[in-house]
């Protein structure tokens, strides 16, 4: 038997382990951790950012409630997972997104990626990232139109003007400074511009022990290493690893997306492998791929590989025999 927060006893099969933390409490902590980035987005990009965030979160909650009603199941809105998915999706969208974009994306994330596979705990990829991939494939123009903070002038993202070692050239435009990347005065998705605000939320999650430090550490360290070795135009070991860490969605992805309990491996060794894979794929796409950013595809690909990692690394139960692969 296990005990819920309300004191009710639940009878279930072994093993019985009560960590003292409910799903609802975890989701509330994630929302608190994302609050600085969300408030920063509203400050940088104005009322439109607030509207995109509200539409995404509201649609996600409404879709989850509606799906539960259609299937005759109890509503799961109280656990807060739909709100987290909606907020994460909103933070990956461009500031100038048309209002139908977060609505369509949030509905897709909940109905297709989450509910269709059995609900919370059964989705095989991160719903917010899967929805962003869907929107990027279906509406590439809307998903790649960026504006600069405060003045809403169309601009390029920092990664779009970073030197490409494969092409040996720099796209038109000046690179923002480290200060710009830290404070958020650069173009980009709503929640990825300010590294300081994201790191503030990440520190909260680490202190509360909501996420495992291995995944962001392995992810970012691998990305930094490959960016340093192969990311420069002057030969090996001439890249700028710090710029690759601060620019784009590396911090948002490493701390808030890759650490998803459902789609990441469950063992410590498995999480190291998962994290290194995310960092490596991100670096390869950024340095040699057709997209300036690779975090989205890296995490989704490793989500798919995650069950295979667990298959080889999860130990056999006590008294059991581990099957052959």
pLDDT digits (tens, 9 = 90+) for 15-67: 555 556 788 999 999 999 999 999 999 999 999 999 999 999 999 999 999 99
CB 266 within 8 A of CB 310: yes
The per-residue pLDDT for 22 is 85
Is the Cα torsion angle 296, 297, 301, 302 positive or negative in sign?
negative
Rounded distance between C-alpha atoms, residue 213 and residue 216, angstroms:
6
User: Which residues face 147 on adjacent strands?
Assistant: 154
Q: Which residues contact 259 (CB under 8 A, 6 or more apart)?
A: 205, 211, 212, 215, 216
Q: How far is CA 287 from the centre of its chain?
A: 20
Q: Which residues contact 322 (CB under 8 A, 6 or more apart)?
A: 315, 316
User: Which range among 141-145, 266-270, 313-317 shows the weakest confidence by mean pLDDT?
Assistant: 313-317
274: pLDDT strictly greater than 80: yes
User: Which residues face 154 on adjacent strands?
Assistant: 147
The per-residue pLDDT for 185 is 87
Whether the model clears a pTM of 0.85, i.e. scores above it, the answer is yes
| Pair type for strands 9-10 and 2-3 | antiparallel
The per-residue pLDDT for 5 is 46
Q: For the segment 111-151, what is each residue's pLDDT rounded down to a tens digit?
A: 999 999 998 888 999 999 999 999 999 999 999 888 888 77
Does the domain spanning 23-313 belong to CATH 1.10.3430?
yes
Q: Is 146 helix (H, G, I), strand (E, B) or coil?
A: strand
pLDDT interval class at 294 (50, 70, 90):
very high
CA distances from 24 to 20, 113, 216 (A): 12, 20, 23
Q: What single-letter DSSP state applies at residue 287?
A: H
Phi, psi dihedrals of residue 171, rounded to the nearest 5°: -70, 160
Q: What are the DSSP E strand ranges found in the chain?
A: 2-3, 9-10, 146-147, 154-155
Structural domain spans, the chain: 23-313
CB 66 within 8 A of CB 207: no
Q: Is 154 helix (H, G, I), strand (E, B) or coil?
A: strand
């Amino acid at each position: 038997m296990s005990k819920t927060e309300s004191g009710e006893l639940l009878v279930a099969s072994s093993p019985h382990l009560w960590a003292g933390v409910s799903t609802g409490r975890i989701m509330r902590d994630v929302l608190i951790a994302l609050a600085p980035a969300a408030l920063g987005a509203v400050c940088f990009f104005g009322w439109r950012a607030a509207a995109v965030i509200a539409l995404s979160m509201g649609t996600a909650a409404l879709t989850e409630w509606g799906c539960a009603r259609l299937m005759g199941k109890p509503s799961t809105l109280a656990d807060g997972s739909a709100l987290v998915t909606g907020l994460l999706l909103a933070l990956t969208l461009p500031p100038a997104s048309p209002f139908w974009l977060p609505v369509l994306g949030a509905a897709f994330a909940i109905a297709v990626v989450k509910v269709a596979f059995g609900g919370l705990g059964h989705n095989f990829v991160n719903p917010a990232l899967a929805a962003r991939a869907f929107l990027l494939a279906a509406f590439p123009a809307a998903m790649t139109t960026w504006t600069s903070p405060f003045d809403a002038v169309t601009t390029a993202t920092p990664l779009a003007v970073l030197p490409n070692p494969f092409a040996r050239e720099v796209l038109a435009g000046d690179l923002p400074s480290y200060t710009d990347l830290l404070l958020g005065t650069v173009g980009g998705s709503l929640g990825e511009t300010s590294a300081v605000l994201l790191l503030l939320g990440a520190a909260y999650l680490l202190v509360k022990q909501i996420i495992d430090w291995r995944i962001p550490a392995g992810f970012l360290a691998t990305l930094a290493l490959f960016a340093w070795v192969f990311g420069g135009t002057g030969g090996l070991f001439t890249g700028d690893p710090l710029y690759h860490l601060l620019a784009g969605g590396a911090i948002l992805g490493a701390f808030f997306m890759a650490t998803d309990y459902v789609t990441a491996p469950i063992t410590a060794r498995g999480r190291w492998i998962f994290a290194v894979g995310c960092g490596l794929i991100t670096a390869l796409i950024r340095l040699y791929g057709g997209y300036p950013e690779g975090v989205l595809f890296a995490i989704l690909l490793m989500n798919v590989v995650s069950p295979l990692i667990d298959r080889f690394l999860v130990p056999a139960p006590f008294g059991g025999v581990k099957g052959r692969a």
